[in-house]
Structure 1
Amino acid sequence: MEQRTDEEQVQRLREWVGEYWKPVVGGVVVGLAAVLGWQGWGSHQEQQARAASGQFDAVTEAVESGDLDAAAAGVDALTSDYKGTLYASLANLTLAKAYADVERYQEAADALSWVANYGQDAPTRALATLRLARVQWAEGDADAALATLTSSEPPESFQAAYLELQGDLQSAKGESAAARQAYADALAAMDVNAPTRAAVDRKLAELGGPAQDEQAS
């Protein structure tokens, strides 16, 4: 009886292997392909990051040497080939500053607009938006700068800076009440030890301090 049982088990094993060997082997193959595919994707990402880093270094070197045309060509390559990387945003920010330093404001605004729209993360986009508003103000267009600042809600870490610049713009436009409110809101959004707090306090004082309802609150 035991011999027949052993034979039956062997036969059942043969039948099971015959029936299920394809799915089992297929599962193993799929698993290996997934692992190897993930490793291949990771290697591809690493190669992309190295290439983008090298291109960014070339942009910074061109900026430092004063060759803004070469820097602009490098930025174009980065935004075309490595759009989703932080290096593309950093290169545009670097180029924008170089343009602003020589008062090529429209070109600076173009570079900053790219980052404001396509930057990899919210803080990077917020920084570009803040700088874009400053460039627009430097061009003499305070209305455009205000529109840029109020076009989106910045991350919490940028709220005070946005509100301070908003106050500056409104003060320049002669909108004292609105500027006082913006400065008061900026102070409320700041840490008590923020290095720019004294400057905002001074600006608010120069406009007569907070409005009466603000003082009462």
Structure 2
Amino acid sequence: MAIDDLLDEHEQSERVLQWLRNNGAGLIGGIVLGLAAIGGWKWWEHRGEQTQLELSNQYQATLDAIKAKDKNAPAKVKALADSTYHDLAALELARSQVDARQNDAAIATLRAIRSSDPAITDVVNQRLARLLIEAKQADAALKLLANASSAGAMEVRGDAQFALGQLEQARASYSQALAKLDVASQQRRVIELKLNQAGGAPATPEAKS
């Protein structure tokens, strides 16, 4: 190898060493920060998994308390905090309260649910509206379902209107509920009977060619 080449390589090596002297601390610091970020993410991920596991176990313990008719079950439901677990446990608690003929307690339980899941909210409103109708508060049930759109909610709205003697409106609600259901749905038969009771008649489904 030529002397000039050796000198060039030596000069390049010196430049690299000088750059490391000047920037080594920053480079090492960046690597350390990167490793810390990865470690922090792993820790956060593990913490999230651990929290979900704890919530799941707490939820199961709450369901067991509800099934056993434990007087502390309502407190256990409340302790689940704002989560889907809380909403589902509260629905189960309300059902057990209805079975025990504690309708006022069930109404209070359902009213306390504040779910961010539209599907859960729809179920809560339907169950609460049914209890309100039974408690002679059909007007409140109608207000609760004012913006309802599911077949189940439309059926309950028809029930509230029927209870108030609003037969024309009830027929319309039952018909809208039927329009949202498949022809083979078991729920259709119940709604058709309600529609007949309100003075209407279900439309005959068109035969498929």
Q: Shared topology, TM-score over 0.5?
A: yes
Q: What do the CA deviations read for 1:157-212 (whole angstroms, capped 9, x no partner)? A: xx10010111111011110110111011111111222210122122222323269x
Supply the distance in 2 between the matched residues of 1:29 and 1:110 (Cα, whole angstroms).
Answer: 54
1:77 aligns with 2:73: no
- TM-score w.r.t. length of structure 1: 0.82
Percent identical: 33
Partner letter of residue 192 of structure 2? D
Report the counterpart of residue 126 of structure 2 in structure 1: 130
CA apart distance, 1:22: 3.5
Instruction: Report the Cα distance in structure 2 between the residues aligned to 1:146 and 1:90, rounded to whole angstroms.
Output: 24
Q: How does 1:117-156 map to 2 (within 5 A)?
A: 117=114, 119-150=115-146, 152-153=147-148
TM-score of the aligned structures, taking structure 2 as reference length: 0.85
Counterpart residue type for residue 24 of structure 2: W
Inter-partner Cα distance in structure 1 for 2:191 and 2:127: 18
Q: Which runs of at least 4 in structure 1 moved beyond 4 Å after TM superposition?
A: none
Aligned counterpart, 2:64: 61
Letter in 2 for 1:145: A
**Contact 1:78–1:88 at 8 Å: present in 2 too?**
yes
Say if 2:167 and 2:199, in contact at 8 Å, map to a contact too.
no
After superposition, the Cα gap between the structure-2 partners of 1:135 and 1:33, relative to the gap in structure 1 and judged at 3 Å, is farther
8 Å Cα contact 1:89-1:120 kept in structure 2? no
Q: Is the 8 A contact 1:59 1:74 kept in 2?
A: yes
- Structure 1 vs Structure 2 CA RMSD: 2.0
Give distance in 1, aligned partners of 2:128 and 2:29. Answer: 55
Structure number with greater Rg is 2
Which residue of 2 is the match for residue 173 of structure 1?
A: 164
For this pair of structures, how many residues does the alignment match?
A: 199
Partner of 1:91: 89
- Among 183, 187, 193, which residue is 2:178 paired with? 187
**Which of the numbers 4, 16, 19 marks the counterpart of 2:19?**
16
Structure 2 letter corresponding to 1:75: V
Query: Following the alignment from structure 1 to structure 2, what is the Cα–Cα distance between the partners of residues 136 and 63?
Result: 23
Contact conserved, 1:58 with 1:71, CA < 8 A, in 2?
no
Q: Secondary structure at the match of 2:69?
A: coil
Q: CA deviation at 1:153?
A: 4.7
- Structure with the higher helix share, 1 or 2: 1
Q: Distance in 2 between matches of 1:166 and 1:66?
A: 32
Q: CA deviation at 1:29?
A: 2.4
The gaps in structure 2 that reach 5 residues or longer are 203-209
Opposite residue 53 of structure 2, the aligned amino acid is R
